[in-house]
Amino acid sequence: DAKTTQPNSMESNEEEPVHLPCNHSTISGTDYIHWYRQLPSQGPEYVIHGLTSNVNNRMASLAIAEDRKSSTLILHRATLRDAAVYYCILRVYNNNDMRFGAGTRLTVKP
């Protein structure tokens, strides 16, 4: 299975943009890139997903490298409520498994 590598932790200041990186050098052509986040004592929450093109939604943007070996989740203006563990996950096409890596713990400072 393709795996992802993320920094253990990152810090950001409130109202500043945050770029959360994810390396997935063994990604295959049909793997989707998913991002979820988990607040303390809660289940994961969907953030965004993509395949090849960059994606935007109301929560975030996903920038995918041209070779797809890495991607970056962009929070345009971090708020205190964005403090969470962010997981970058590869989902194999036609396989519903969703397996989590270690994730990045984002701390947002006021």
Partner 1 sequence: GAVVSQHPSWVICKSGTSVKIECRSLDFQATTMFWYRQFPKQSLMLMATSNEGSKATYEQGVEKDKFLINHASLTLSTLTVTSAHPEDSSFYICSGFGAYGYTFGSGTRLTVV
Judged by the rule CB under 8 A, the positions of this chain that interact with partner 1 are 34, 36, 38, 41-46, 49, 87, 96-103
> Closer CB to partner 1, residue 46 or residue 93?
46
Within 13 Å and on the Cβ side, how many CA atoms surround 108? 21
Report the nearest approach of partner 1 to the CB of residue 42 (Å). Answer: 6
Report the nearest approach of partner 1 to the CB of residue 81 (Å). Answer: 16
> Closer CB to partner 1, residue 65 or residue 98?
98
CA distances, 90 to each of 3, 70, 75, 110 (Å): 7, 11, 20, 32
